[in-house]
Each structure stands twice: as structure tokens, then as C-alpha cells.
Amino acid sequence: MLAAVMTSAALTLPAQADALRDQAAEQFQVIPSMLPAVNNNPITKAKIDLGRALFFDPRLSASGVFSCNSCHNLATGGDDNLETSIGHGWQKGPRNSPTVLNSVLNQAQFWDGRAEDLKAQAKGPIQGSVEMANTPEKLLATLQSMPAYDDWFKLAFPGDAAPVTFDNFAKAIEAFEATLLTPAAPFDRWLEGDDNAMTEVQKTGLSLFMEKGCSSCHSGVNFGGHDYYPFGVVERPGSDILPENDKGRFAVTKTADDEYVFRAAPLRNVALTAPYFHSGKVWDLKQAVAVMGSAQLGDELTDDETTAIASFLTALTGELRPVEYPLLPAETATTPRPTAEVIAQ
């Protein structure tokens, strides 16, 4: 069986290597090394700096414990390495935290795509009762209580008479998050012509990834993140992996066809973002590949095949530019005080 897989490695002879690259280039794009343009939000240095401060500031949560970075930790692949996040009052969130890395390149945000972009996304967890449990009013009171934030908002939004708004808060976070690209993954370097950037097994995995049909959903610059599919196209996984009470995009569209429909997960840096699936129930990348094979493709992949595909997926780990940890302003007499209390909904 290993031999059967290894014959695919013949693809790396010059002509066939080019054929594999040509085929890949039709379905995938490299991560840009420049900031992409962001809809309705020109990205400036001042806005990025403000967004970085906000992203790391735990005082934006009701308890003072959680920042954006708590669940989208830039140290650990832009997520929190938990099945589902722990938030206000030690409550568990309903779905696995997706990585913030390269998320600006996704078509929409959240597992069900309910936010059209990162500025819409940023307004969600702040208010989520099991996440940061804050309100826009208290958030703005917090920001307005610290003169440095006032200065930073003025620099970031120079045209606004009163720039400390919930919309601008969200735009600043989007601006920072737009910088969180991870270019130069082995796959990208290979796609750009460096034959040695991926191993033979990884090239075999890429070939299988396209031939078996994974790339029907996981394609584009982010290897996913641009469209929605039922989890269990062919065979619905057990309720351990696909909990029955989470109907996915159905909650957004109220369309019966969208029951158990989720965004095809973007697979960039997937080797850093275990556990997998919206339920976060699978820790092993090979196992996740096998589950996808049976659930989505009706294909019981061999061990060699899952090994090669998982190996290829590790070639999607890119390089995050260094991020300087911010220094935040001190609270003042008018800063709302943190509360650990859980208010019943």
C-alpha cells in the first residue's frame, strides 16, 4: 500500500512537478506578503497600533480576564487549543475558536459565516454572554475613561469628531487582524517555484488532496473559508463529533438545507490549531483527515493516504511576523470596574 502511494512521488520529476504545480495553481493561491485592501476600512499604521492594543486588552471583557487574544492567541496559532473556548464565569463556548491568522482572507467569519467581515466579527465575542460578556456602552465607557485611548482613536480616525465609537473599535481590530498574515509556508514557496520547499510525501499528499476531492471545498488562498457545506455530505459523523444541537448555518439562514452546514474550515496553519472541527473533538490531524474522507467524500482513506495528506497540511504552516506586546494605559477613576458575576440571560 505504501508502494502504491509512493508511485505518486514520481510526480516530482521535472515535467510532472510542473504538472502538479500547474494543477495546484488553478486551485490555490499564495498568501500575499502585502496587506490586502480591506472593504470600507483603509489600513493605517495608527489604526493597526490601536487595534493591537485593543486586541490584547482584557479590560474590554466584563471580568477583566479575557482579551481577543485569550481565544485567538497569537502565540499558539491564533486560536486557544481548547475544544471550545472558556469564557465569562467559566462557561464553555458552543464552538471551537477559529484561528485569527489569515482570517482577513476568508469570505466571511465564524463557523456559520454570520459576520460578513472582521469588523462585524469583532463586535460579537465582546458581547457574548459566555465569552467577554460586555456591552457596547460599557466598552465605550472603558475606552473613554483612559486618555491614551482617546488619543489613539483620534490618530487612527483623524476625520472623526468623536472617534471613540463601537464601529471604530471594530475597525481598528480588523486593521490589526489584517496584518496577521503568515506568508512563506512551504507550500507557498513550492508553488512559487522552490521544488525543495516540500518533501516528497507532502507533494504526494497535495496530489491526493486534489485527486480525492478535498480541494473541492478547501481551496483558494486559505484552503477553505469561502463557502459552506453540510458536515456529512456522504455520511454524517457521530454526535461525538457533530453534536445534534448545533445546526450550523441553519441558525443564520433558517433554511432547512442549511442544517448542519458549516464553513469549510480554512486549513492554513492547521497543524497549529488542534483540536479540529467546530466541536473541537478531534486532536489528531490524521484522524481529522480520515473523518473528512468518510464524511465528506465517502472514501475510507488508507493510513498511507491520511499520512501523506496530513503531512501536506503541515506544509501550510506559514511565518507570523513578530508582534510586539502592547503597553496599555492605566485605568482611571471613571473606568468601569471588572465584575466576575455571571448575569442570567
User: Which residues is 229 bridged to in the sheet?
Assistant: 262
CB 253 to a second copy: min, Å? 32
CB 46 to a second copy: min, Å? 18
CB 12 to a second copy: min, Å? 27
CA atoms within 13 A on the CB side of 164: 18
Is 319 annotated as catalytic? no
Rounded distance between C-alpha atoms, residue 298 and residue 290, angstroms: 10
Nearer to a second copy, 94 or 338 (CB): 338
CB 327 to a second copy: min, Å? 6
Residue 253 φ then ψ, to 5°: -100, -20
Contact between 123 and 82 (Cβ < 8 Å): no
Residue 99 φ then ψ, to 5°: -70, 145
Nearer to a second copy, 16 or 73 (CB): 73
To the question of whether residue 34 is assigned a binding role by annotation, the answer is: no
Nearer to a second copy, 152 or 229 (CB): 152
Of 325, 331, 345, 333, the closest CA to residue 74 belongs to 325
> By the criterion CB under 8 A, which residues form the site for a second copy?
56-59, 63-65, 70, 73-77, 80-82, 86, 89-90, 92, 271-272, 274, 283-284, 320, 322-328, 330-331, 333, 337-338, 340
Contact between 335 and 146 (Cβ < 8 Å): yes
Rounded distance between C-alpha atoms, residue 78 and residue 323, angstroms: 12
CB 330 to a second copy: min, Å? 5
To the question of whether residue 226 is assigned a binding role by annotation, the answer is: no
Nearer to a second copy, 120 or 271 (CB): 271
Contact between 316 and 102 (Cβ < 8 Å): no
Residue 220 φ then ψ, to 5°: 80, -170
Residue 137 φ then ψ, to 5°: -65, -50
Choose, from 83, 131, 174, 177, the residue flagged as catalytic.
131
Residue 269 in grid coordinates = 496553519
Nearer to a second copy, 267 or 272 (CB): 272
To the question of whether residue 210 is assigned a binding role by annotation, the answer is: no
To the question of whether residue 71 is assigned a binding role by annotation, the answer is: yes
Which residues participate in the annotated binding site for heme c? 68, 71-72, 88, 214, 217-218, 292
Binding residues, as ranges, are 68, 71-72, 88, 214, 217-218, 292
Q: Which residues are catalytic?
A: 131
